[in-house]
Chains A and B, each alone.
Chain A
Amino acid sequence: MSYHGIVIAGFGGQGVMLMGQIIAAAAVIDGKNSTWLPSYGPEMRGGTANCTVVVDEKPVASPVIDTPTEVVAMNYPSMVKFGKKLKSGGFLFVNASVVDQKMDRGDVKIIEIPVNDIADKIGSGKVANMVMLGAFVELTKVASFEAVEEALRYKLSGSKSALLPLNLEAIKKGAEYARGR
């Protein structure tokens, strides 16, 4: 599928904005078009943060979408809010480390990844978003892993470059978990 309308949502601080930016940038590195549209304003402080990423072969028309093809829910409120908008047959990625309820939808592919647990195991809960990113890219094929790495390398250049190996490891673990489930 060439078109992806992705919503990534969670609490502020869970790294949902960065996850979206990496996906959007990686798609461009792969030669596709993309837009990254953040929610901004009061809801970023304490409440839910989300971003919408559209990836398409042709230039992106609307960066605003009604029916996502993929939803990443890093917490329960995000799953409830965006899970019901998900297109039939679409992917719902759920952070199983913090969400224990089930989404009542039989028509979508629900992928539960305990991203915080996996991140803790490799040394830092802060890279839970990268674990989710790895799982997401593995199953949706929205971009190549080479492009994801390049986008991350660009994002974590300079003083942040020391963080790169841990982030790449997290992406790898997420992809492995998604493959093995």
Chain B
Amino acid sequence: MKTEKLMMKGNEAIAEAAIRAGCRLYFGYPITPQSEIAEYMSRRLPEVDGTFLQTESEVATVNMVYGAASTGKRVMTSTSSPGFSLMQEGVSYIAGAELPCVFVNVVRGGPGLGDIQPAQSDYFQATKGGGHGDYKLLVLAPSTIQEAVELTQLAFDLADKYRNPALILADGMIGQMMEPVELPPMRDLSTLPDHSDWALTGANEREPHKVTSFNIDPYGLEEMNKRYQEKYTRAVREEQRWEEYKTDNAEYLLVGYGTVGRILKSVVDKLAEEGIATGVFRPISLWPFPYTRLRELAEAVKFVFTVEMSSGQMVEDVRLGVEGRVPVHFYGRMGGVVPTPDEICSAFKKLL
């Protein structure tokens, strides 16, 4: 190939990016539209002395991830909406035990069994805590396959940095489509962060380490919670990520993440042809949500227009960020329907 770019499916690109980030342990249970991640891992992990295990259920998966993460090794799993619901108990335990690991949810239409088409209706579950207790996931939302590669790598690094699970929140379109990608080099495993101060590696000739989310003493548990909250406060300060497209002279601000975030760029270009100046604010970190920059941008526009493949979930964070400075409008499609540029343009123009 004249170019070093490879055409890859999003699911496969995420899997390869994880391996190149140093992930050698994958546990998973197949579910559309992300089964190619497991398929790819089953083929590729043995080539790099890794372990692939197809579990009997998502509940088994998340507990295997919990166990593997306790050893300080880079571990991941991937699933789609109903499967991630099944994992929530374990996700909460892992957050409470402060273990780094990476989850991928390639979201499909819900609720319930729903369908297998792209959706964004798991935003609340991802960002507000799908499991019990005061915990947060570090949530990253790619809008291109290249970005899916980069964010997968970042997810492992952030998980280590905060000793907290990270989540790639994609959707069926990111999982199934193909796009050119440039892959990063294979990470040298000896350069991965040292977890020897807490990891369970065998307590021969040292004091045992303890990994748990349990504390029967409420004051003790409160201290643990304070430690979690300190981490989250730091993440809010340091990890807000977003992309802007033509926001400089925008009179109206369009907000969308992931798949919708990139469709909105086409909307902005179409509207520009008609002399309407709009720009896109695309949150990349859904938690922590980039409130700070959104607030600044909102001050310079007439209104904010949020588009999602849901009945309106992220729009609540947009409203929190905008703080009533300007109106926040919403357009959404549900059930796995992907909105097209023309229909978003029409919905937008009705607001003028």
Assess whether A139 is interfacial by the CB under 8 Å rule. Answer: no
The answer for the CA separation of A29 and B180 in the assembled complex, in Å, is 10
Contacting B at CB under 8 A, from A137-173, are 150, 154
Query: Are the C-beta atoms of B1 and A150 separated by less than 8 Å?
Result: yes
Contacting B at CB under 8 A, from A55-113, are 59-67
Assess whether A47 is interfacial by the CB under 8 Å rule. Answer: no
Assess whether B338 is interfacial by the CB under 8 Å rule. Answer: yes
* B116, B179, B338: the one within 8 Å of A35 (CB): B179
Q: Digit string of A12-37 for contact with B (CB within 8 Å is 1, else 0)?
A: 00000000010011001101011111
A-B CB contacts (within 8 Å), total count: 74
Q: Given A24-B7, A36-B7, verify A64-B263 contact (CB < 8 Å).
A: yes
Chain A min CB distance to B308 (Å): 15
The answer for the CA separation of A67 and B117 in the assembled complex, in Å, is 21
Query: Are the C-beta atoms of A63 and B262 separated by less than 8 Å?
Result: yes
Q: Digit string of B324-349 for contact with A (CB within 8 Å is 1, else 0)?
A: 00000000000000111111000000
Q: Give the chain B neighbours of A59 by CB distance below 8 A.
A: 144
The answer for the CA separation of A25 and B340 in the assembled complex, in Å, is 24
Assess whether B86 is interfacial by the CB under 8 Å rule. Answer: no
Contacting A at CB under 8 A, from B159-210, are 172-173, 176-180
| Closest Cβ neighbor of A52 among chain B residues | B177
Contacting A at CB under 8 A, from B206-253, are none
Query: Are the C-beta atoms of B269 and A35 separated by less than 8 Å?
Result: no
Between B1, B267, B342, the greatest number of chain A beta carbons within 10 A of the residue's beta carbon is seen for B1
Q: Give the chain A neighbours of B265 by CB distance below 8 A.
A: 61-62
The interface on chain B, measured as residues whose beta carbon lies within 8 A of the other chain's beta carbons, has a size of 30
| Closest Cβ neighbor of A150 among chain B residues | B1
Q: Digit string of B57-87 for contact with A (CB within 8 Å is 1, else 0)?
A: 0000000000000000000000000000000
Q: Give the chain B neighbours of A63 by CB distance below 8 A.
A: 173, 177, 179, 262
6 residue pairs, one from A and one from B, having the closest CB atoms: A61-B265, A62-B266, A36-B178, A66-B342, A61-B266, A62-B263
Interface residues, chain A, with chain B CB atoms under 8 Å away? 21, 24-25, 28-29, 31, 33-38, 40-41, 59-67, 150, 154
| 21 residue pairs A–B, Cβ–Cβ below 8 Å | A24-B178, A28-B3, A28-B7, A29-B3, A31-B2, A33-B180, A35-B178, A36-B179, A38-B176, A40-B32, A40-B33, A41-B115, A41-B117, A59-B144, A60-B262, A61-B269, A62-B265, A63-B177, A64-B173, A65-B340, A154-B1
Excluding A34-B179, A40-B176, A61-B269, 18 further A-B contacts by CB distance (< 8 Å) are A24-B7, A25-B7, A28-B5, A31-B3, A36-B178, A36-B179, A37-B173, A37-B176, A59-B144, A60-B179, A62-B262, A64-B173, A64-B340, A64-B341, A66-B343, A67-B342, A150-B1, A150-B2
